[in-house]
Amino acid sequence: MTIQPRREIARVVRRRASQLRRVSDHVRPTPPVDRVVDDAADYWTGRDADPAWEGNAHWRSGLGEEHWRTVGAEHLAIFDMFAKALDLPATPGVVVEWGCGGGANAVAFAPTAQEFIAVDVSADSIAECVRQLGMVCDTPVTPLQVDIRHPEYAADGREESCDTFICLYVVEVLPSVEDVKRILRVAERMLRPGGIAFVQMKYHTADWRPRAYKRDYARSLSTMTTFGIDEFWSLTAECGLTPRLVTLVPENHLDTRYAYYALTKDAG
């Protein structure tokens, strides 16, 4: 047997094995939500457990220089488009980034902010985000580590304290829809009247494959919780925010099926 047929056989075997895993994921019972939350907490606070962790947490060392810089630049461009369409101030004021990771978004948003609050479940990511910000601007930075099981505590004493709430590449890795609702309600509490939440989620389509498996957190973290585009729009309103605009990015250098929302907190 020549090398080429062997490689083709190996590719077929890997493809069939992947298909079998997906089928198995859909027929096995879904584990209790509490266990998925524990798995998520273990994953994001266990930096050394997965070689891909720094990439998943959007560290400079994990994404590589070009992609790391592109993440923040692309998101700032979308935010500026939303802000202009909604006639918002030219600068974002006090900014909270929920899920700051290694600072890929922070380095784009913080230089024009009045204050930047770096929120994450990982102390390592917060420290890295603060380090990266120190190299690009002198904006005051407040680190804020949160417990994935009790995100509401982050808003205690910070009600109506920020102008801009950023939450990017977070919704899809949350364990459940209820966890998403909790973060949206935190955003509503922390935003001042008239403030904006800039939130991204991963949308699903009629194709079943992008839907969340919820069996193995580390293997399925980027599709743990997905939504229909209109479904998420309605969910944000249920959580006290007013959906104003949405734009879709079907594919970029990181993944596919991204939807970005501009949500405001009513002034009255």
Q: Number of folded domains in the chain?
A: 2
- pLDDT band with cut points at 50, 70 and 90 for residue 196: very high
Element (H, E) at 113: none
CATH number of 232's domain? 3.40.50.150
Q: Determine the pLDDT at residue 210.
A: 44
16 pLDDT higher than 70: no
Give 13's DSSP letter. H
- 95 and 187 assigned to the same domain: yes
- 20 and 99 assigned to the same domain: no
* Length of the chain (residues): 268
- 120 and 66 assigned to the same domain: yes
- 44 and 5 assigned to the same domain: no
- 20 and 47 assigned to the same domain: no
Domain that holds residue 21: 1-30
Q: Which amino acid is it at 3?
A: I
Q: Which two structure tokens, joined as six digits, stand for 212?
A: 């969340």
Kindly list the strands in the beta sheet with 256-264, ordered across the sheet, starting from the edge strand earlier in the chain.
Answer: 141-145, 115-120, 94-98, 162-167, 191-202, 256-264, 242-251
- 16 and 41 assigned to the same domain: no
Element (H, E) at 116: strand 115-120
67: Cβ contacts below 8 Å, ≥ 6 apart: 253, 254
pLDDT in tens, 24-49: 444 444 556 788 888 888 899 888 87
- Residue found by looking up tokens 């979308």 in the block: 78
Query: Contact 112/134 with Cβ under 8 angstroms?
Result: no
- 36 and 18 assigned to the same domain: no
Query: Contact 246/231 with Cβ under 8 angstroms?
Result: no
Give pTM, 2 decimals. 0.85
Candidate from 102-106, 144-148, 158-162, 205-209 with smallest mean pLDDT: 205-209
Q: Which two structure tokens, joined as six digits, stand for 32?
A: 């209790």
pLDDT in tens, 137-165: 999 999 999 999 999 999 999 999 999 99
- 22 and 101 assigned to the same domain: no
- 131 and 6 assigned to the same domain: no
- 179 and 47 assigned to the same domain: yes
pLDDT in tens, 243-257: 999 999 999 988 899
- Residue found by looking up tokens 């955003």 in the block: 187
- 88 and 5 assigned to the same domain: no
